[in-house]
Structure 1
Amino acid sequence: MDLEIRHLRVVSAIAEAGSLTRAAAALGLPQPGLSAQLRRIESLLGGVLFDRDRSGVTPTPLGELVLSRAYTILPGVDRLLADTERITRGDAPLAHVRVGSVGAPLLGHLLLAIRALLPGREVTSRGHYAPGPLLDDLCAGRLEATVLGDHPGQELTVRDGVLLHPFVMEPVFALLPADHPLAALEEVSLARLAEEDWAAPHPDSDRTRDYWWSAPALDGHPPRIPYEAEGRQLIEIVRAGLAVSLCQATFTEVPGVAVRPLAGNPLWYRHVLAWHRDGQLARHRAAILRHIRDGYLNACADSPTYARWRQRHPHAARPLS
């Protein structure tokens, strides 16, 4: 067996995901199948690429070498495929519009905007927990647009041929069990929150946890994290009263959890929209942004905690034009 581009994609996906389970989900493969692929690749290359333990995977020195080469090779291959696809497609109308999104409140509004502006097109979406793979897919022509997110000091890197449109910077809020004593407060001190057990995402390529721990109240004193989870699993852990966490300001409270602002607004999250500079969605940019702006403001109004925060901070967290 010869080394192929798909093998480099598998190795890169595992490194970006930080675990075989996450990588298998991102690639749409069963985990045993991905494990078998990795063993064949390691056999081909003559050594182990990842050290594996209960917390995930870490590249070995050989793995670091292979990844460094993969990160050099794959972007060039992706650009070649995207350029040839655009040339062969020409100006033919898109029959299938593919969009992606991190966990954010903008995806539904983006889908509705595209359906309204391009009636009759098939519109599909897929999600990913980190923005990097979605941006890679956008650059490679596997997506037409995507919803991304980043934090101050961790801004997304601009890629050739891609338009990044920062949409709004909003505060990060506390996520608490509904019966937690801190839920009775109008706002929560991050230092006080750090004394609790936390549920938090696995440290991965989007560096969310790195950003959280950079806040002055946590810098050098990160809280205890007995529960690594995200999405629905994280919410259920908080709802059970086992931990606290952080969330986007537009998070909709569900029974059993409470959302509260952080005192002093020490942490922020930026929503970013991205599409091809020369793609067919770019010509609808202004209309798409208007559609999403209206939807975002409705989401703000539907979140009572965030709506009260916005009344107290009228000049903050305004969608950018």
Structure 2
Amino acid sequence: MDLEIRHLRVVRAIAEEGSLTRAATALHMTQPGLSAQLRRIETMLGGTLFDRRQEGTVPTPFGELVLGRARAILPGIDGLLADTARAARRMSAADRIRIGSVGAPLLGHLLLAVKAFLPEADLTSRCQYSPFALLDDLAAGRLEAAVLGDHPDEQLPQRDGVTLHPIATEPVFALLPATHPLAAHDEVSLPELLDEDWAVPRPDGDRTREYWASVCALTGRTPSAPYEAEGRQLIEIIRAGLAVSLCQATFIETPGIAIRPLTGNPLWYRHLLAWRQDGPLTSYETEILRRVTTGYQTTCTSSPAYTHWQHLNPTTPGRQRPHP
């Protein structure tokens, strides 16, 4: 893991709040997730940054060194981001639409909606694993819109100048080798899944891994995760029968792969659209949201596993909450 600006912001927030709990609230993180991230930062830097005392979390001498540098660096970074945001907004126009996306079933629907209202626009897109990086790009004016995603207790923070539009909240499903005995069941319990080896995304790309771990910890267990992979590599590990994992409910089932709901719906994923409040898409906000939401619902009906889950859970709180 390489040191990033957001890691310095984490260290500064802990020092300013004087408590991991208060810092987690300020950063819109869970306390266990923040603690895990702090441990990784300390491992990367090579020393303990904070002591936990009765009066609160206090920087160590090593932590004071890091904090001094962070406090010197961050104002310059914030100024740079503000200046580039203003410059990017001056260069941006309705004929230049840059869209970012995490791995989610909304990007195609969003691109089609933008094309419908701005057919002459120079429309481009790029994908990235971390929604936090995309949100930073939106705030800095490097994107006009983005498809984002987050989890309960790990929700994306509000950013000045950016509007977040929740599209739907859906359950997280189990991802299994098609030959696995659990694939013969209509649904899989999380404790059963924890008996297997897991393939998981890398830490810090987003907070997915921390969210999974925090929910698994409620069972008194943590997943054995010898395989760290994303995208095609993760699918190949599962298809080979080496591991299990988790996925979005709308994940496309491919040969050799089985998707099954989790008993009791312990994990959830929220889909969002975001765009700049001063950008060219704001004028078409209502219609774009309607078209993307309709497209998402069509995608849901093409997923046998999700369709079956919806049939069995017609009134489950939080299920597929479309934007009004």
TM range (shorter): 0.7 to 0.9
Structure 2 partner of 1:59: 45
- Which of 4, 19, 29 is the matching residue for 1:12? 4
Unaligned runs of 5+ in 1: 1-9, 17-52
Structure 2 partner of 1:238: 238
Cα deviation code 1:91-128 (max 9, x no counterpart) = x8422210001111111111111111100111111111
Deviation at 1:290, TM superposition (A): 1.1
RMSD: 2.4
Unaligned runs of 5+ in 2: 9-39, 48-61
State whether structure 2 residue 113 is matched by structure 1 residue 113. Answer: yes
Structure 2 partner of 1:47: none
Structure 2 partner of 1:149: 149
Deviation at 1:83, TM superposition (A): 2.2
The 5 A counterparts of 1:15-26 are none
Structure 2 partner of 1:81: 84
Alpha-carbon distance in structure 1 between the residues aligned to 2:149 and 2:73: 25
Structure 2 partner of 1:28: none
Alpha-carbon distance in structure 2 between the residues aligned to 1:130 and 1:295: 23
Deviation at 1:206, TM superposition (A): 1.6
Alpha-carbon distance in structure 2 between the residues aligned to 1:272 and 1:161: 16
Structure 1 partner of 2:310: 310
Cα deviation code 1:217-251 (max 9, x no counterpart) = 65552111110001111011000100000000000
State whether structure 2 residue 182 is matched by structure 1 residue 179. Answer: no
Contact 2:130–2:206 (CA<8 Å) still a contact in 1? yes
SS at match of 1:165: strand
The 5 A counterparts of 1:66-215 are 66=69, 69-86=72-89, 88-89=90-91, 93-215=93-215
Contact 1:98–1:144 (CA<8 Å) still a contact in 2? yes
TM-score by length of structure 1 reads 0.78
Which letter does structure 1 place at the counterpart of 2:309? W
Which letter does structure 2 place at the counterpart of 1:186? D
Contact 1:12–1:70 (CA<8 Å) still a contact in 2? no
Contact 2:129–2:205 (CA<8 Å) still a contact in 1? no
Deviation at 1:165, TM superposition (A): 1.0
Contact 2:190–2:216 (CA<8 Å) still a contact in 1? no
Contact 1:194–1:218 (CA<8 Å) still a contact in 2? no
Alpha-carbon distance in structure 2 between the residues aligned to 1:230 and 1:14: 22
Inter-CA distance 266–189: structure 2 relative to 1 (3 Å threshold)? same
Inter-CA distance 158–121: structure 2 relative to 1 (3 Å threshold)? same
Overall identity of the aligned pairs, in %:
55
Which letter does structure 1 place at the counterpart of 2:160? D
Alpha-carbon distance in structure 2 between the residues aligned to 1:15 and 1:297: 37
Alpha-carbon distance in structure 2 between the residues aligned to 1:102 and 1:139: 16
Inter-CA distance 224–69: structure 2 relative to 1 (3 Å threshold)? farther
Cα deviation code 1:253-312 (max 9, x no counterpart) = 000000000000000001111111121111111111111111101110110010111122
Deviation at 1:69, TM superposition (A): 4.8
Structure 1 partner of 2:268: 268
SS at match of 1:310: helix
Inter-CA distance 144–206: structure 2 relative to 1 (3 Å threshold)? same
Deviation at 1:194, TM superposition (A): 0.4
Alpha-carbon distance in structure 1 between the residues aligned to 2:188 and 2:221: 18
Alpha-carbon distance in structure 1 between the residues aligned to 2:267 and 2:6: 29
Alpha-carbon distance in structure 2 between the residues aligned to 1:217 and 1:193: 13
SS at match of 1:120: coil
Contact 1:15–1:58 (CA<8 Å) still a contact in 2? no
Alpha-carbon distance in structure 1 between the residues aligned to 2:74 and 2:183: 45
SS at match of 1:179: coil
Contact 1:212–1:218 (CA<8 Å) still a contact in 2? no
Runs of 4+ in 1 over 6 A off after TM superposition: 13-16
Structure 2 partner of 1:226: 226
Alpha-carbon distance in structure 1 between the residues aligned to 2:216 and 2:5: 33
Inter-CA distance 223–121: structure 2 relative to 1 (3 Å threshold)? same
Inter-CA distance 199–118: structure 2 relative to 1 (3 Å threshold)? same
Structure 2 partner of 1:288: 288
How many residue pairs end up in the alignment?
A: 270
Which letter does structure 2 place at the counterpart of 1:234? L
